[in-house]
Amino acid sequence: MNKFDLVLSDLDGTLVLPEAHEISERVRDSIASLEVKGINLCAVTGRTYDMAKNLLGVLGVTRPSIFCGGASIQDPRTGEMLWSQSMDAGQVEQVVKILKPYNHVRAFGTDMSIAQPTPFDEVLGTQLEVFASVRLEDTPEVLDALSIVPGIAAHANRGPGGDMSMCGIQVTHIEADKYHGTLALLKLVGVDSQHTFAIGDGDNDAPLFRIAHQSAAMGNASDFLKGIATYTVGTVHQDGFAEAMDNYVLFKDAK
């Protein structure tokens, strides 16, 4: 029976419904049980700090957490930047040039202080992240075009804002994924990867699963993510997070 010191959890589609701020009673109880056992919970999310801070307050997450898909580590209580990995100005210029013709919303130009969505023409200089929402049918073409930009990583997640006809395209530095962000986080909090448990639902959680000792894919995750996870649990609607904590972290059913 492994002793875990740290749970690394995605937010949208894992702890809460995408873009939601409501947590089920069972998930709340599970988080409280982690705290009682002295097991820390850190968020590992594609959201910016500003987009996540209210939810993290509701969840009671106070430990340093990973934002922008792995581009930054910040204190969830204050927003203090503890670590970051930005794209340089040249990379940002190339990414914006590729995304602009496809974009149907606006881009998040995420620098050290995150504000409101920014029009593409205003996304300049170094950035932690550039985000666009593109039509589902355009996604393969967009990812193919982005693949030629050196030193960046691009991830697609269907249904931004609940619109399943669209894909959210998140672009960061190639070493700003959930793997590298988690490596930096573990150094900051002084926890060995052998004592970590990860849970998520998106393909961008795959780098996180590579570093955690054990992992659980939500029932609403892709077949790919389920294939590399240690366990598969129920969907977000079925409180899969609480199921994973009860069975594999807190061992509530253990004799």
For tokens 């049918």, the residue is 137
Tens-digit pLDDT profile for residues 143-158 = 999 999 999 998 887 7
**Rounded-to-integer distance, Cα 32 and Cα 137, Å:** 42
Its domain, for residue 150, covers 89-173
Which residues are CB-contacts of 123 (< 8 A; sequence separation ≥ 6)? 92, 96, 107, 109, 130
**CATH number of the domain within which 244 lies:** 3.40.50.1000
Q: Is residue 124 domain-shared with residue 153, that is, in the same domain?
A: yes
In the numeric block, which tokens belong to residue 202?
Answer: 């998106």
Question: Is 100 within the bounds of a domain?
Answer: yes
Please count the structural domains in the chain. Answer: 2
- Does 254 reside within a domain? no
**Do 158 and 98 sit in the same domain of this protein?**
yes
Among residues 129, 150, 173, which one ends one of the domains? 173
Tokens of residue 215, six digits: 């992992």
Residue 255 is assigned to a structural domain of this protein: no
Domain boundary among 173, 204, 238: 173
Which of 12-26, 54-68, 97-111: highest mean pLDDT?
Answer: 54-68
Q: Are residues 31 and 148 in the same domain?
A: no
Residue 173 identity (one-letter amino acid):
H
pLDDT band (50, 70, 90) for residue 112: very low
94/169 same-domain check: yes
**Shared domain check, 27 and 15:** yes
pTM of the model: 0.85
Task: Quickly state the pLDDT bin for 107 (edges 50, 70, 90).
Answer: low
Which of 149, 173, 197 is at the close of a domain? 173
